[in-house]
Every structure is written in C-alpha cells, then in structure tokens.
Amino acid sequence: MTVGIVGLGLIGGSLAKAYKKAGGITVFGYDIDTQTEQLALISGAIDRALTEKTLPDCDCIFLAILPDAAIGWLYANAGKISPRTLVLDCCGTKRKICEAGFRLAAKYGFEFAGGHPMAGTHKWGFAHSRADLFSGACFVIVPRVYDDISLLERIKKFVLPAGFAGISVTTAEEHDRRVAFTSQLAHIVSNAYIKSPMAKEHRGVSAGSYQDLTRVAWLSPGMWTPLFLENSNNLIRELDILIKSLGEYREALASGDAGTLYRLLDEGRRRKEEVDGN
C-alpha cells in the first residue's frame, strides 16, 4: 500500500510516522516548506517526496493542509491523480473542501471523501508530530454517497492502520455545525479566558481547572483564523448561546441570587452527566 501526504505538519507528519510504525506501507510526502520535507525524509517519516512523478503511484492521498490550500492543490493536481486513487482531506471544516473535492473527483474519475481526524494537540508542526497521535481516535468521514458501504470499507483499509479506532459518517453541513461547538468554540473560550490580567498572577494558586481550560489557548492563529471565518455562521450561533448563558450567571452573582445561581450550576452539572455519562 502506498500513501501520499500533502502537508507534513502535526497531522500530516503524524500520519506519516504512524504508517511507517505500522509497517508495510510506503509513504510519499510533500510540504511547501522544503526544509520540513527534507527533515521528514532524513528522519524516515516518508520514503520519498510526493511529486508529479510519484503521485500516480499512490493508493490513497491525504490532504493535511488548510481548506483553501487543499482546494488549490486539488485544482492543480486533479488531472494527475489515478482513477484508482482515494483522496481524503484532513481539514477542520468540510463544506468548501467537499464541494470542490466532489466536483473535481467526478470530473477526473478518482474518489474523494471529506475527512477529519479527531485528534491533535495545542502544538503544531512536524517537530511535534508523533506516531501515536491517532491511537484510539475517530476519523470523521463525509462521503460523496452516504450509504456506499464498499467506499466506507475502502476508507477503513487506509485509515485504521494509522491507529484510528474507527470512522463515523456525516454530512459536510452537520460536521461543521457540530465542530463549531466541540472544537472551535472551546478554542475561542480558552483563548479569551487567558487574557484576564489575573493570568499573570495565577502561579501557586492554580491547578487542574486552570490547565484544562487554558490548554488550547496555545493555538496557531494562522490555522484557526481561516477555519473560524469559514464556519462563522455556526460559530457565531454558539458564541451567542454562550454569551447569553454567561449573562445569566453574571446577573445571579450581581443580585446575590443564591437560588438562581444554584439552579444554573445544577443545570450545567446535570447536562454534563446527561451528555457524557458519569
């Protein structure tokens, strides 16, 4: 099996390392930063560079770059992709990349499916990539045809060797609606929370709560800015819900309303138990 990876940052680099650790898989890689690509070659994370010459040899190609860059790469290379090749993206939003991917795949005869590996860290770049990043994680799939069982089995064949526990299937619209809450809102809240002047005085009086809430404040602005903007309609809706809810807590505190504050806190506790179990 031969896998091509476009983009050798945290996600692409981790995919490459995971496949090499699994064994029996040839990995071709490309990165716009030639030093990163050379480092991946020297370290053994990839076997060869992904070029126009090696592109037709790939059984599966992962686009581990931002949506606009992935779309640009597809337009530049779609005519060079073999009809037997499966192309999966790893972008954090799905509507734009899937629209372009499905259209180009139909035109040139290869198979495309949207993808999103649900794993990561607050750090980025090849230097922080690791072979076990996807261990036990889920790979979200947005297929062209929702109930194409043979396609889903084909995707599993390429995805599971990287350590994923399985795949889940959804639409591009539903993916973006959900990820606005599960990922994007969390990054904004964390990033805003750390801006309190008190952040500089936390040492000695902070523990797990502080660490949990601020971990993803250490994000890559270059990555998250276009993702937030692309999904702004869903993200604004989640922000409005949060702001309204925070206002209720503030009002209860300002008025000294212990009963309302207790109710709000208990509602949150019960909701957590309801959605995530014990």
> Which residue has tokens 């591009």?
172
Asked whether the CA dihedral 261, 265, 270, 272 is positive or negative, the reply is: positive
Task: Output the pTM of the full model.
Answer: 0.86
What domains are there in the chain, each with its CATH number?
2-170 (3.40.50.720), 175-276 (1.10.3660.10)
Return d(Cα 142, Cα 214) in angstroms, integer: 31
Return d(Cα 260, Cα 81) in angstroms, integer: 60
Residue 86 phi, psi dihedral angles, 5° rounding: -100, 130
Per-residue pLDDT at 212: 83
Q: What is the DSSP letter of 255?
A: T
Instruction: Write out the chain's pLDDT in tens, 278 residues.
Output: 999 999 999 999 999 999 999 888 999 999 999 999 999 999 999 999 999 999 999 999 999 999 999 999 999 999 999 999 999 999 999 999 999 999 999 999 999 999 999 877 777 788 888 888 898 899 999 998 888 888 899 999 999 999 998 899 999 999 999 999 999 999 999 999 999 888 777 765 566 788 888 888 888 898 899 999 999 999 999 999 999 999 999 999 999 999 999 999 999 999 999 988 76
Q: What is the DSSP letter of 26?
A: E
Return d(Cα 100, Cα 87) in angstroms, integer: 12
Report residue 98 as tokens. 């899937």
3-class DSSP state of 275: helix
Return d(Cα 54, Cα 61) in angstroms, integer: 11
Angle of the 172-179 helix axis to the 232-254 helix axis, nearest 10: 30
Instruction: Provide CB contacts within 8 A for 266, sequence distance 6+.
Output: none
